[in-house]
Chains A and B, each alone.
Chain A
Amino acid sequence: MLIKQKIFAIAACAALIVLVAVLIKRRKLREEYALLWLATGIGMLILVIGYPLLLEVSKMIGAVTPTTTLFLFALLFIVLISIHFSVKFTLLSDQIQSVITEMSFLRKELEELKKANGSG
């Protein structure tokens, strides 16, 4: 791996970790959502800094160059994060449905109460 590639990869990983940390600190990102992003940044950093480990992993998966391994892992993390978001969106959709259903019941009860009190 060229030194320029290494410096760029370390800088990118460090930037990602710092960005996630800042977002958590400002309460713009909840810890549970940040876990995968942090894991991505730290995992990539370990692979870049521990170059022999990167070579070993590349050999293990049959990659020709170490940078291919880095790109492959980056892609895998992005796929995992996308699946994670899809699961969260499904959960949120279900929760929104429940809230809107309950709201429709409450609105009807309120209308009936107002009517009964002669104020509707």
Chain B
Amino acid sequence: MQPMIKALTWEYFARNRWMLLFPILANVPACLILLPLKGISDIDSFMASRELIAIYLVLFLCLVLIVGFGVLVTQGSLSRLYLLPISTLKIASFYYWTGALLVAVQVAAMLYLWKALLPIDWPIAGPVLFAVVCWGALQPVVRGVSHSLWWVVAALAIVSGLFYWLLLRHGIQLRPGAMMSPDIHYWSMISLADVTISTTILSISYALTILRVHLDRSGRRKMSLLERIELVSESLQTRFASGSRQFRSPMESIAWYNFRAGNIVIPMISIVMVAFVWLFAVIGSSIARDAALLCAIPFAGTNLAGMLLVLTTLLWAAIGRMEQSLSPNKALDQDLKNRTPLGISEFLYMLPISATDIARASLRSSALACGVGSGVLLLSFVFAGALGWLLGTDLGTTVGLKIAYWKYVLAVVSYSLMMSFVFSNSAISVVPSLLRIDHWIWPMLVMAVLLAIRTPLDFSLSAGLCVFALVALIYSTIRSVIDRDASVGTASLIWLVGIAFAVGLMALLRNELGPVGMLLTGSLVGLAMLPFFSTTAGLCRARTT
């Protein structure tokens, strides 16, 4: 082996010796799901059952995701090698093929572990081939510096294609009721078509990866469409920028900063999506000459906008955390301070403003963003409902709702408001609570007791989550009152409003939610209240190490 390859291999394993154990730990939940199945007596017929194949497929996809992401994170950015005297071909090849090998080995090892847990003859070769092809196909997308989120779109397109291939190889067609087909089976044989597909994808993606790394290394990376739009917008802003901006107080200044630095994405998603679906509805109903579409399309589109709103805040929060994990050379406190995009940077901590005021401003900014985002959804739903009423169509019946339209609208808007608020504040306020082991003692006990008395799993898990939210909330409230981050009056008011909101929502949806839904609603309200008590403490921890 060449000294350079030896050095790179050594560096990789030396840097990631513990991280490489992560897939094994991440596999524990899969094992916990598989272990209870061991008691099934008629294992042979269960092996071929559609239910097990479905479980297997979901677990396998999670496994590929975890292993692939883990290897990618442990490899880190290639740009650190650009100034070393190594050819681009060697850099790209080394990371492409060693990554593929690691993915293959780890997926194969985990599948063997599953086989050891359950006496089922699950296939190994096909799934491992699929994992390697997934790894290879995504390399041109994830390698190199990208300043836009277009890579997410490209990655989704690639993953969709690969997913379709995986489904086909399990005998699942893309049509309604396909999961009920008796033709569903495991991917037990690698056909010539599989080999051809794999070879083609790997060859093309390998060539594209080399090209991408080459362009990246030589600084000739093409700008994406979003980057071009951003550049034009910046140039216009620079040309027509207004004069000085006056802030009345430091808190107003911080709230503006937080809103512009990240939270602005939340309402923007809603506004853009809702505007787009209404435009689409007008065009679609005109072409189809069907007036009912004018309210049915916005209804469906607004639902999608609500989901996107929640997913975007989740993605943003995850990217914030992922960026930290991608910079292992930085000290932990530096990571916390440089948190982006919904977090607060070190720049703010050097300003003469108390953590309490930063927390208030941050919460105000995120509440405004989530409120506007959800408000736009509400307006769109109301407008669609009103239009349906004017056109003489019952929108609820048209779209097949089983509950009253207004109830449905209130539920969607409330849940998207709470979830986006929780996710947008997760970095500083919620995640630190999730990472506290002492907060999990009571939830674990409750779950253990419930499972011991044979309560259904979904109820036990929901109850555990609800207890966790309650414990974290009580702890944070007491802490914030002791530290004088919140007065007793303010804390009581927040609790009162939170409880009233939770009770109101549960009363409104009492027939639809069921016990599990009630527990999850309670948990969500609790988590949404948490930032009001834990943000100041989180900021203090981040400010001083």
Report whether chain A binds chain B.
no
